[in-house]
A and B are shown apart, each in its own frame.
Chain A
Amino acid sequence: MPYLGSEDTVRDLRRALANPHVQSDQLRYRNVILKVIRLMSQGLDVSSLFSEMVKACATVDIVQKKLVYVFLCSYASLNPELSLLVINTLRKDCQDSNPMVRSLALRNMTNLRLPGLMEYVEQPLTAGLKDRAACVRRVAVLGWAKLHNLHPNSEIDAVVVNELYSLLRDTDPVVMVNCLRALEEILKEEGGVAINKPIAHHLLNRLKDCDVWGQSEVLKILQRYQPQSEDELFDILSMLDSSLVSPHPTVMASTLSLFLSLCWALPAVSLAALERVRVPLLAACGSASREIRFTVLCHIQLLLRSVPGLMGAHYKRFFCGYAEPAYIKQRKMQVLVELVNDDNVALLLDELKDYCTDVNTDTAQAAISAVGRIGRSYSDRCLGILIGLLGLKQENITSAVVQTMRDLVWVCPQCSETVCSALEGCEEILQDSQGKQALLWLLGTYGDRVSSAPYTLEVFIDKVRCETSSPVKMELLTATLRLFLCRPAETQDMLGRLLHYAIDEETDMCVRDQALLYYRLLQSGIDETRKVLQGRRSDPSLGVLIGLPAEPVKHWARVFNTLKPLWQSFSETESVRGRSCLLSFLLLIIVKFSVHVCVFQAAMQLVNIQILAFTPSHTLPWRVYLYTHTQAPPCTTLILGELLYTGKPTEEGVTLKQQPRDDKALRGFLSVLITVLHTLSSQRE
């Protein structure tokens, strides 16, 4: 923020700093420096004072020293030459009798981040490792990591590495943990610090001495250790038992993570560990910090993938408080959906019903779709609630309810009767395109059961000129054509009008093309049209997506206690190549067991992957072309894909094209694809 008069200010300051009277008066000198730092934090460029500040660094006053160091570390990279002048003072400070001065000098020497200073820094750092004060050793140890970070290519002396390894046995726990951190950084290329049996057991024994941060660090690094025998493994596990129920969520999570990685071969032990963390996890759900609460909820979702029954009895703990932020409420509802069972369904739905009318529309929508999800298992109760909500005649609620009903009908065809009878009157309330699309789909697909369907569609067709959203128009075309197939007499006239409008007047190419396609389809005969348009109305087999079999713990163990689970669309990052092998295997299963293509198509649509074309099943080579586009801001990317199965192991797999390039989206796409294929194939098995 360069504001008026800043040059004058800097000039005044320079004069004051150079003034021998000021320099001789410690308090005045300190005040001037303070002013410089203040201006610096306010964003004023005071870098031109660098040489004056370097001089101010040579003082016995530790307060002044600290201030100057703050300045120097901020501007050193702009003045590498002048920074050389500081080094001498810093090196002298490293020999000071006061350990605080020594550690201060050492830390700032490494914080200057100047690659050219390496040769000057090495010697004090080596001395620092042997310093008798723990605070100096702490700084020196991390100093080596910083140094390595500056010169990632240069080898750090093996002597230093050895010294760091021996400092793992330091009396000060922070020095020990810092050693681990530094070695991790320095030996990154070799896979991090090597943990052998003596080191592992030493770390385990010292665990209790460390603070929360240290414990988490140690536990994380211990994940790399493989016990040599089962006895040793169980010894370690019993040593860790008390950390597993630690009241600090971070320690508890790190311990659990370690448990899972140690017991990867013993699923029963992992499950027992998960049972054991239930209480501390629930306690962490009530943590005062909403961010921690959020983190814990996300991780509970992970756990529930493997142990669906883990929290069943404690569903009340996931009820939302009035003042909780929307992101927590939404997660809690997702958890609640997982916890529903015969005993709690009534109370749980009662609670969710309250959320459906939340002022926050996103929360309300999430609640409504949660009710819909539960409806897959308890359809009568949920439909009652949903229909009750329609009675409120509120725009956003109605829209969410209609969308939820559409999704519900697709998996539970037995609900269609009730849903169809509830649709009347919705069209007057719906405003948004999502809601309209859902209603049109329902009318098109179940037109034979909704007596008023033609009239509703007519209202839409009459207003089609005012409709701005092209997806709605496309849905309208499909719905009208479908209705025409089952109720031709009532619909023929309006279908003609709609096609006429869409072909002659519509400017959106997609809509026009679709209308043309339908027109030509109708020309080729009603039977052809019926074959193309009258697909399935529902797909109960998709129910497998809900009642997924418990996932093995190892699927998510690697990302447990990291940032990953906090992302809603959580996807694994494995190399694309590694996956295609699995993919072809799944394709094989699908072709072999001839999954009906409709099922495949419906499953893909559920995850927003559209199928463009496919070869009939039982033909070889078997191909499917599909596409999707991501809507994650800032950019959207289009992915086109070809699944190929030739019968020969070398020539099968998936080819993907993308515009623009976005690796994350690609990987996400692939993992979604694999999940779907996996689900379908496991259902066949």
Chain B
Amino acid sequence: MSLSAVFVLDLKGKVLICRNYKGDVDMAEIDHFMPLLMQHDDEGLTCPVMSHGNVHFMWIKHSNLYLVATTNKNSNASLVYSFLYKLVEVFTEYFKELEEESIQDNFVVVYELLDELMDFGFPQTTDSKILQEYITQEGAKLEVAKSKVPTTVTNAVSWRSEGIKYKKNEVFIDVIESINVLVNANGSVMSSDIVGSIKLKTMLSGMPELRLGLNDRVLFALTGRDKGKTVVMEDVKFHQCVRLSRFENDRTISFIPPDGESELMSYRINTHVKPLIWIESIIEKFSHSRVEIMVKAKGQFKKQSVANNVEVRIPVPSDADSPKFKTSTGNAKYVPEKNWVVWTIKSFPGGKEFLMRAHFGLPSVENDELEGKPPITVKFEIPYFTVSGIQVRYMKIIEKSGYQALPWVRYITQSGDYQLRTNM
């Protein structure tokens, strides 16, 4: 791929930090970035890749920062963007929040990270767990790092250091599924899918061997068992610790886990799911006088389950005023800066139906600006439940010292990109 240099800019285009990896592109070229971006913006042609002469800028935006990579070659675009996102990921792990302030406060660590992540325009060590061992600048680690040789440098298992000890050996498994739904204005589901991930919090001593069993349909078909509900997973992505060859051969998920928190795998299920929370809305706009909104929310999941912290966000015109609400449960609040009403329901049992009415005044002088038709969005969380029906059947933990360890499993379903278009 070969990048020439990486820049971190603030919103005004001032360089906060940069690293020149190859030296084949003039570092002053970055001065053209902001004018180019503004020019493209004016023309409505904003594009993640821009060129000035034979220098290409590939950029992403994260909070109040631009991360820009320059190159003068016909690089592999997807790799460059992946790398920029990797930067964001690593920085975020180090500074919790990646923004202008955190870059300025931690510029030395940023330099160090940039140095380790890439050399001569080629990505080197990008796993944040391993990077940890190279970085000297981090608070408490400062003194320790002085003499410590990175253990993983010569280690066969690069993601786990040797000699980890815990008093109580436990592993926590979180199965989290988020649902993406797009429903169009006349109520038909345009697209829906489930994105799931299995997260681990490992607190195990030594070098344990773990094996995870799921109710995977392909596995069940392989072994000839066919009882109970099974799940077909697509696009399964694993953490690098999982032995892919074994998964490909006999669908066994076996691995030596990284210490602490990590995402073991993610998957996507592309089946038609019934939207768990169904919204029917009538938004009537009487120009120059008022807007009347009636929203009905229905829980389309099992009676035993309860959705928590449900938030239904209903768009309203930006010039609306004097809100009045009536709800059968929960409470509604007008958020003028976002131009929406948030209807919050703390707990929403399955099969139930709730109603909310809102009334807004509209000014007699009409707003000139055109407004889009933002969709209704819904946020929720349903614990102890997965839409796909995926289950952890077992988690075997074997370590040569032979200790007993307990696996804990937790299931959560939550909303992802959950949109229902309106007629307003």
**CB atoms of A562 and B48 under 8 A apart:** no
Set of chain A residues within 8 Å of B136, measured between Cβ atoms:
62-63, 66
Chain A residues with CB under 8 Å of B303's CB are none
Q: Is B322 in the interface zone, CB < 8 Å from A?
A: no
Do A562 and B77 contact each other (CB < 8 Å), given the known contacts A178-B122, A321-B182, A321-B417? yes
B375 at the interface (CB under 8 A from A): yes
Chain A nearest CB from B257 CB (Å) reads 18
Residue among B82, B119, B147, B237 making CB contact with A250, cutoff 8 Å: B82
Chain A, Cβ-Cβ closest to B39:
A633
Q: Is B248 an interface residue (CB 8 A)?
A: yes
B75 close to A317 (CB less than 8 A): no
Q: Does B60 contact A (CB under 8 A)?
A: yes
- Whole-angstrom distance between the alpha carbons of A273 and B264 in the complex? 29
A361: which B residues are within 8 A, CB to CB? 44
Point out the residue from B79, B85, B119, B190 that lies within 8 Å of A216, measured CB to CB: B79
B23 interface contact, C-beta 8 A = yes
Complex contact B81–A295 (CB within 8 A): yes
Contact B48 A280 (CB under 8 A): no
For A292, list chain B residues within 8 Å (CB).
78, 81-82, 85
B146 and chain A: residue at smallest CB distance: A62
Which of A63, A360, A362 is in CB contact (< 8 Å) with B145? A63
A242 to B247, CA, bound (A): 11
Contact of A294 (CB < 8 Å), options: B48, B120, B421 = B48
Asked if B137 and A289 sit within 8 Å, CB to CB, the answer is no
Asked if B112 contacts A99 (CB within 8 A), the reply is no
Interface flag for B240 (CB, 8 Å): yes
* Residue of B78, B108, B146, B182 touching A295 (CB-CB under 8 A): B78
Q: How many residues of A contact B (CB 8 A)?
A: 81
Q: Is the CB of B150 within 8 A of A135?
A: yes
How far in angstroms is the closest Cβ of chain A from B268? Answer: 6
Among candidates A34, A98, A248, A322, residue contacting B237 with C-beta atoms closer than 8 Å: A248
Residue A620 lies at the interface, judged by CB distance under 8 Å to chain B: no
B376 to chain A, nearest CB (A): 10
Question: In the complex, which residue of chain A has the Cβ closest to the Cβ of B189?
Answer: A316
A479 in contact (CB, < 8 A): no
The reply to whether the CB of B17 lies closer than 8 angstroms to some CB of chain A is yes
B49, B56, B78, B122 — which one has the most chain A CB atoms within 10 A of its CB?
B78
Complex contacts, B191 vs chain A, CB 8 Å: 316-317, 319
Across the interface, name the chain A residue whose C-beta is closest to B56: A563
| Alpha-carbon distance A141/B106, docked complex (angstroms) | 30
Contact bitstring B74-104, A, C-beta under 8 A = 1, else 0: 1111110111110000000000000000000
Complex CA distance for A563 and B79, rounded to whole angstroms: 10
Confirm or deny: B244 has a beta carbon within 8 angstroms of a beta carbon on chain A: yes
**Interface window among B355-363, B366-374, B379-387, B407-415:** B366-374
Closest to A562 in B: B74
Collect the chain A residues with CB atoms within 8 Å of residue B281's CB: none
B419 touches A (CB below 8 Å): yes
Task: Verify if A212 is at the interface (C-beta below 8 Å from B).
Answer: yes
Contact present for A134 and B244 (CB under 8 Å): no
With contacts A291-B48, A322-B375 taken as known, whether A283 is within 8 angstroms of B79 at the C-beta atoms is: no
Interface: B149 (CB within 8 A):
yes
B397-424 residues with Cβ-Cβ distance < 8 A to A are 417, 419, 421
Contacts of A248 in B (CB 8 A): 82, 237
Min CB–CB distance A368 → chain B (angstroms): 14
Complex-state Cα separation, A71 to B16, whole angstroms: 16
CA distance A240 to B46 in the complex (A): 36
Whether, in the assembled complex, B218 has its beta carbon less than 8 Å from a beta carbon of chain A, the answer is: no
Q: Tell whether, in the assembled complex, residue B108 and residue A149 are in contact, meaning their CB atoms are under 8 Å apart.
A: no
What per-residue 1/0 map shows which CB atoms of A199-220 lie under 8 Å from chain B?
A: 0000000001001110011001
Q: Are B153 and A133 in contact (CB-based, < 8 A)? A: yes
**Chain B residues whose C-beta falls within 8 Å of the C-beta of A249 in the assembled complex:** 78, 82
Contact of A283 with B234 at beta-carbon distance under 8 Å, contacts A174-B125, A316-B191, A564-B74 already known: yes
Query: Whole-angstrom distance between the alpha carbons of A477 and B403 in the complex?
Result: 92
Please indicate the chain B residues that have their CB under 8 angstroms from the CB of A211 in the complex. Answer: 123, 126-127, 240
Residues of B close to A327: CB separation below 8 A: 45-48
Q: Which of A280-311 contact B (CB under 8 A)?
A: 280, 283, 286, 289-292, 294-296
Kindly state the separation between the CA atoms of A178 and B2 in the bound complex, as whole angstroms: 12
Give the dominant DSSP class at B's interface: mixed
- In chain B, residues 153-195, which have Cβ atoms closer than 8 Å to a Cβ of chain A? 153-154, 180, 182, 184-185, 190-191, 193
A212 touches B82 (CB 8 A): yes
Q: Do A319 and B244 have beta carbons less than 8 Å apart?
A: no
Within 8 A of A (CB), among B36-58: 39, 44-49, 56, 58
A250 and B150 contact, CB distance less than 8 A: no
Task: Give Cα distance in the complex from A100 to B125, angstroms.
Answer: 14
A253 to B77, CA, bound (A): 11
* Chain A residues within an 8 Å CB radius of B245: 208
A361 to B127, CA, bound (A): 42
- Asked if A313 lies at the interface with its beta carbon under 8 angstroms from chain B, I say no
B235 touches A98 (CB 8 A): no
Q: When chains A and B are docked, how far (Å) is the Cα of A379 from the Cα of B85?
A: 44
Best-surrounded residue of B22, B56, B124 (most CB of chain A within 10 A): B124
Q: Which residues of B contact A213 (CB under 8 A)?
A: 1, 79, 83, 122-123, 126
**A142 contacts the other chain (Cβ, under 8 Å)?**
yes
Which of A134, A149, A208 contacts B22 (CB under 8 A)? A149
Q: How far is the CA of A297 from the CA of B134 in the complex (A)?
A: 37
Cβ of A235 under 8 Å from chain B: no
How far, in angstroms, from A447 to B191 measured CA to CA in the complex? 46
> Are B74 and A322 closer than 8 Å at their CB atoms?
no
B49 to chain A: which residues have CB within 8 Å?
563, 566-567
Decide: B46 and A325 in contact? CB cutoff 8 A: yes
What distance in Å separates the Cβ of B31 from its nearest Cβ neighbour in chain A? 12
- Which residues 589-606 in A have Cβ within 8 Å of B in the complex? none
Known: A34-B108, A254-B76. A247 touches B248 (CB 8 A): no
A478 at the interface (CB under 8 A from B): no
Bound form: Cα–Cα A311–B245 in Å: 30
Contact status of A242 and B126, CB under 8 A, knowing A149-B23, A292-B82:
no
Q: In the complex the two chains form, is B81's CB within 8 Å of A98's CB?
A: no
Chain B residues whose C-beta falls within 8 Å of the C-beta of A286 in the assembled complex: 180, 193, 268
Nearest CB of chain A from residue B270's CB, rounded to whole Å: 8
Instruction: Say yes or no: B81 contacts A289, CB within 8 Å.
Output: yes
Map CB proximity to B onto A22-39 as digits: 1 under 8 Å, 0 otherwise. Answer: 000000000000100110
Could you list 29 A-B pairs, sorted by A, with CB under 8 Å?
A63-B142, A134-B154, A142-B119, A146-B120, A211-B127, A213-B83, A213-B126, A217-B1, A217-B122, A248-B237, A250-B76, A253-B76, A253-B78, A254-B76, A291-B84, A292-B82, A295-B78, A296-B78, A321-B182, A321-B417, A322-B375, A350-B184, A351-B190, A354-B184, A354-B185, A359-B370, A562-B76, A565-B77, A566-B47
- Assuming A178-B124, A250-B82, what are 20 further A-B pairs, CB within 8 angstroms? A62-B146, A66-B111, A67-B108, A70-B115, A98-B147, A100-B149, A134-B153, A149-B23, A211-B126, A213-B123, A216-B1, A247-B235, A253-B78, A283-B235, A291-B84, A292-B81, A319-B191, A351-B190, A362-B44, A563-B71
A-B pairs with the 4 shortest C-beta distances? Answer: A362-B44, A247-B237, A359-B372, A213-B123
